[in-house]
Amino acid sequence: MKELQTNTFPEFITAGRKVVEFSADWCIDCKRILPDLPEIENTFSSTFDFAMIDVDESQEVAQQFQVKGIPTFIVFENGKEVGRLPSRNAKTKEQVVTFLRELE
């Protein structure tokens, strides 16, 4: 999965349908979902481009999108947020897959 920085984030979300996971190295739930991300990305690769951004390294972006807990998955379409799976609902592969299927 592509890793974004504060300066690469705006360009990534500008065009098309994008899924960005807001996470951090220390986050237990982020580590728990990490092994499932390649499969999720592969399953939805015809619909979405995927990336992750570290909330500690890119605090301005996390604040801009009011990310309160991690992992949080935000779906963008041509730069606009069209869906959000907050951390309380992003604990399992099944929760992430169900969320993305609703936005396909």
Q: Are 49 and 18 in contact (CB under 8 A)?
A: yes
Provide the H-helix boundaries in the chain.
9-14, 28-33, 37-43, 59-64, 93-103
Domain residue extents for the chain: 2-103
The 10s digit of each residue's pLDDT in 25-83 is 999 999 999 999 999 999 999 999 999 999 999 999 999 999 999 999 999 999 999 99
Residue 71 structure tokens: 């992992």
> What is the pTM (predicted TM-score) of this model?
0.96
Query: How far is residue 53's CA from residue 44's CA, in Å, rounded to a whole number?
Result: 19
| Among 27, 53, 70, 75, the one annotated catalytic | 27
User: What is the architecture, at CATH level 2, of domain 2-103?
Assistant: 3-Layer(aba) Sandwich (3.40)
Asked if 30 is an active-site residue, the reply is yes
Q: Tell me, yes or no, if 27 is annotated catalytic.
A: yes
C-alpha dihedral (21, 65, 24, 42), degrees to nearest 10: 0
Of the residues 19, 30, 70, 85, which is catalytic?
A: 30
